[in-house]
């Protein structure tokens, strides 16, 4: 599948998946370049076997996994929790993948045999762990075959947008009304620098074969935004998130305002928004 085919596949998946979660596809579009890069990494580092077994931990929408699952070389198994993502998420995951329910990733063992999995996707999960990632990463190491691949990503705590928000006295976490009314804290408990992330992956028994900070936002344009203070607990937080599409649109003020920031991100990669680390089991 070529790069343009991957992009088309991802956009089609957004259009298919968004209504199942009661949101607009533009909410998912925020992750377009992020998902393109993840698919690239999966295909690049997949073992050269006839059949690659991939476990997608905390799959949720599972967009990268859904893209690679269209290639017969890959077999994907998803793990997810109804407590975290709800029954509707589990229903549409089961439409595509075998699903293993794991309600507490930090307390339960992963239900796979030792050295039985070729690749593990641990995408946008590590920041939600309440405690140290050591136990979970050790479990991932256990189930991977020798030379098996771990792909982990997470937001960059040092990204430019967060620095500016803090400078202006604004929070970088979810709106307080959702945190106050939530029975459990599903927001980020710990965010990482690239150095942090490479260290915990290395300490868990992996050789880091790729580590970079991605710019996944510069190529996007805002189509709809509701200010965080105006978001209401009467609707799901996800449904009220900012919506995006691709490209530069001269008629939108946002697209002009972001240009200086795009230059800064090119000059200073540490200010980009998303961390990606690929580890190989030693």
What's the pLDDT at 85? Answer: 76
- Tens of pLDDT along the chain (282 residues)? 777 899 999 999 999 999 988 899 999 999 999 999 999 999 999 987 778 999 999 998 899 999 999 999 999 999 998 777 777 778 888 988 999 999 899 999 999 999 999 999 999 999 999 999 999 999 999 999 999 999 999 999 999 999 999 999 999 998 999 999 988 888 999 999 999 999 999 999 999 999 999 999 999 999 999 999 899 998 888 899 999 999 999 999 999 999 999 999 999 999 999 999 999 999
Residue bearing tokens 């088309």: 8
> Which of 194, 215, 221, 219 lies closest to 272, judged by CA?
215
Domains and their CATH numbers in the chain = 3-281 (3.40.50.150)
Rg of the chain (C-alpha set) = 19
Q: What gap in Å lies between CA 169 and CA 226, rounded to an integer?
A: 19
Its pTM surpasses 0.85 = yes
- Encoding tokens for residue 174? 């979810």
């Amino acid at each position: 599948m070529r790069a343009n085919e991957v992009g088309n596949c991802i956009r089609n998946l957004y259009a298919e998946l968004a209504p199942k979660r009661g949101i607009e596809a533009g909410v998912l579009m925020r992750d377009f370049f992020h998902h393109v890069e993840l698919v690239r990494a999966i295909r690049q580092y997949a073992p050269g076997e006839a059949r690659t077994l991939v476990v997608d931990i905390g799959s949720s929408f599972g967009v990268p996994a859904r893209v690679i699952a269209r290639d017969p070389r890959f077999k994907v198994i998803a793990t997810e929790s109804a407590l975290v993502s709800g029954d509707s998420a589990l229903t549409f995951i089961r439409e595509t993948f075998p699903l293993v329910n794991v309600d507490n990733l930090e307390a339960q063992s992963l239900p796979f045999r030792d050295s039985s999995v070729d690749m593990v996707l641990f995408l946008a999960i590590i920041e939600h762990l309440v405690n140290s990632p050591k136990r979970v990463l050790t479990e991932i190491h256990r189930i991977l075959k020798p030379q098996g691949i771990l792909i982990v990503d997470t937001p960059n705590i040092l990204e430019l947008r967060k620095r500016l928000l803090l400078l202006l006295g604004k929070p970088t976490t979810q709106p307080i009304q959702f945190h106050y009314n939530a029975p459990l804290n599903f927001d980020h408990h710990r965010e990482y620098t690239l150095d942090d992330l490479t260290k915990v992956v290395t300490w868990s028994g992996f050789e880091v074969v790729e580590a970079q900070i991605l710019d996944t936002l510069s190529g996007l344009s805002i189509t709809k935004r509701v200010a965080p203070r105006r978001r209401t607990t009467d609707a799901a937080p996800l449904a009220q998130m900012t919506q995006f599409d691709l490209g530069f649109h001269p008629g939108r003020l946002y697209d002009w305002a972001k240009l200086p920031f795009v230059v800064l991100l090119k000059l200073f990669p540490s200010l980009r928004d998303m961390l990606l680390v690929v580890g190989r089991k030693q």
